Structure 1
Amino acid sequence: MEASTITTVILPLSLAIIMLGMGLSLVVDDFRRVLRYPRAVTIGLANQLIVLPLFAFALVQLFQLPPELAVGFMIIAACPGGATSNLMTHLARGDAALSITLTAVTSLITVFSIPLVVNFALQHFTHVGSEFQLPVVKTIIQIALITLIPVSLGMVIRAKAPNFALRSQTTVKILSTLFLAALIVMIILKESAMIQENMLKLGPVAITLNLATMAIGFYTARFFRLNQSQTTCISIEVGVQNGTLGIIIATSILLNPALAVPPVIYSILMFFSAGAFIALMSRRYRTTATTS
């Protein structure tokens, strides 16, 4: 996957627009919810920030992937759930408020945790010197520019023009999701040869990582007796990663397009698994509603 206008300009711009849309749906009370529902938020954050990277680390070693591909999977595992996870949670009848809270908090934390995870992966798998590491401060600034600042701007718009924000947030979410899907289709068409070459090799790793972490999120939430909507939310938040950010880190920050192959493969496959999960949970919700 070669660096191009799509990966260096269109993807960062599109992610900024998507994060702006997420900001339109956020208010300060979403962050206060961390204190109101600490158990659900703690379980979600633990799965997203600790379990997911650890499982990815074990998985890439189990499959004995080449160094660059192993680092690519660690990049996607370090990324937060994107705004897409909020829409998917809503469609699956999950706890949308919890989803927004987890996405907002993880988006804030991963600005600082991504450089740590990725630098560890680079050192462990490629054994490169410090000159090949992510520049921590520069990376934090770059990620903030395309994630935190657009979200903050969206929140300011929500505070200053709440009626406009409320009217537009559903439309913006849908359009953002469609925009992201269109970008993925563009990448698939442009990089079809690369995807065909790597799908058989990386597909099993990507789908195992995706399905296993969704299952871990689901059953840990069940173990701690969260309700069905919270369980659905946590499962999606752990499994649906911000692939766009992963591709940007690989191509625009690390300037190594080979590292973007796993995030691309993962982004494609996660839509299918998440779609199946949405259908399953929606059916279960309708069955429960009918029998109650």
Structure 2
Amino acid sequence: MEFFERVSNWITKLFPLWVVIFAVVAFLFPEPFKPYGSWIPWLLGIIMLGMGLTLTLDDFKLVLTRPLDILLGVLIRYFVMPGVALSVALLLRLPPELAAGLILVGCCPSGTASNVMTFLSKGDTALSVTVSSVNTFLAPLLTPIIFLFLAGKFIPIDPGGLFIDILKIVLLPIAIGIMLRMTIPNFIKKIITIIPVISVVSIIAIIAIVVGLSAAKLATVALIAFVAVILHNSLGLSLGYWIARGARMPHYKAKAIAFEVGMENSALAVALAIAHLNPVAALPGAIFSVWHNLSGSTLAGYWGARDKNTKY
């Protein structure tokens, strides 16, 4: 098991590199990846199952003990990123498919990577974990409604279908993971260290499949899609932090909110785009999966080094 843990850590640390390598391979040789489009929801289900296996009831205690912090994190998350996505789409005059895909990313809940980045930045990790969990459990209701409201002008949207799919590929696997952790805790403790690498491999596979499916169109929209994603993520991180500070949150809490707002469950956006839109609409989510890990880890490293001697 120790060997597998070392391999897991090695693969996980080089996550951005693997994403770039497999994305390039999928772009140059798309045909081998195209038949696996139907695998994307299952791969996301695996990621969400892993999230459920890492959750405990303690992760939700802050809802009762610090409700205002949690409420602020949720409100900023679901108001800022969808609005920023729409603004960026209009500013850059994105094609309808890309605009819808970017807005869908903004409407999805925060990603689990935000918890890691908050920890590395010496932020309020407990707040980050709870906000992520609450955001995820609210996603079946809020994501379809907000997406319909903001993106309905670009393309036809089936909010009922989105609701059902989020239940199936997000909440159900998470619930199964939580139940498994409660019923067989000793076994889960033995395998918990290799769960991150399973999630990483699943995300890499999702991105490679999306690139393969959209390779023909990618060359014509890649630049504008990258610019849109970078703007979306940068504004999300900045606004998340400064809105939290404006609400009188201390620095270590505001760091957590920044990552909760700026880092998305982009794999969910990819899965929903493939199921309900088209492969081109999935590109913003695929690009976001790479970029937000690069920007998030850079910001976390800066804050962590600057605040290493800070006492809270």
User: Under a length normalisation based on structure 1, what TM-score does the superposition of the two structures give?
Assistant: 0.85
Mapped to 2, the partners of 1:285 and 1:188 lie a distance apart of: 38
The 8 Å contact of residues 215 and 235 in structure 1, kept in 2 or not, is answered as yes
Whether 1:241 aligns to 2:271 is: no
Structure-1 residue corresponding to 2:254: 231
For the residue of structure 1 that corresponds to 2:307, the secondary structure is helix
Whether 1:149 aligns to 2:179 is: no
Mapped to 2, the partners of 1:62 and 1:186 lie a distance apart of: 29
Structure-2 residue corresponding to 1:258: 280
Whether 1:202 aligns to 2:225 is: yes
User: Moved runs in structure 1, 4+ residues, more than 6 A?
Assistant: none
| Residue correspondence of structure 1 range 6-85 to structure 2 within 5 A | 6-9=36-39, 11-85=40-114
Mapped to 1, the partners of 2:277 and 2:225 lie a distance apart of: 21
Query: How far did residue 135 of structure 1 move?
Result: 4.8
Mapped to 2, the partners of 1:285 and 1:174 lie a distance apart of: 29
Q: Deviations over 1:118-151 (max 9, x none)?
A: 323443224xxxxx42151x33222111110111
Query: How far did residue 108 of structure 1 move?
Result: 1.3
Query: How far did residue 153 of structure 1 move?
Result: 0.9
Mapped to 2, the partners of 1:259 and 1:190 lie a distance apart of: 11
Mapped to 1, the partners of 2:90 and 2:242 lie a distance apart of: 24
Whether 1:91 aligns to 2:102 is: no
Mapped to 1, the partners of 2:217 and 2:183 lie a distance apart of: 46
Q: Deviations over 1:208-254 (max 9, x none)?
A: 110111011111222233334322221111111111111111112x1
Query: How far did residue 167 of structure 1 move?
Result: 4.2
Q: Deviations over 1:230-281 (max 9, x none)?
A: 22221111111111111111112x1422211222222222222112112112
Query: How far did residue 53 of structure 1 move?
Result: 0.9
Aligned length: 282
Query: How far did residue 207 of structure 1 move?
Result: 0.8
Mapped to 2, the partners of 1:81 and 1:73 lie a distance apart of: 14
AA aligned to 1:173 is: P
Query: How far did residue 155 of structure 1 move?
Result: 0.8
Mapped to 1, the partners of 2:303 and 2:215 lie a distance apart of: 32
The 8 Å contact of residues 105 and 265 in structure 2, kept in 1 or not, is answered as yes
Percent of matched pairs sharing the same residue: 31
Mapped to 2, the partners of 1:245 and 1:96 lie a distance apart of: 23
Which consecutive unaligned segments of at least 5 residues does structure 1 have? 127-131
Which consecutive unaligned segments of at least 5 residues does structure 2 have? 1-26
Pick which of 75-84 and 189-198 moved more.
Answer: 189-198
Q: Identify if the C-alpha distance between structure 1 residues 188 and 142 changes in structure 2 by more than 3 Å, giving closer, same or farther.
A: closer
CA RMSD, Structure 1 to Structure 2 (Å)? 2.6
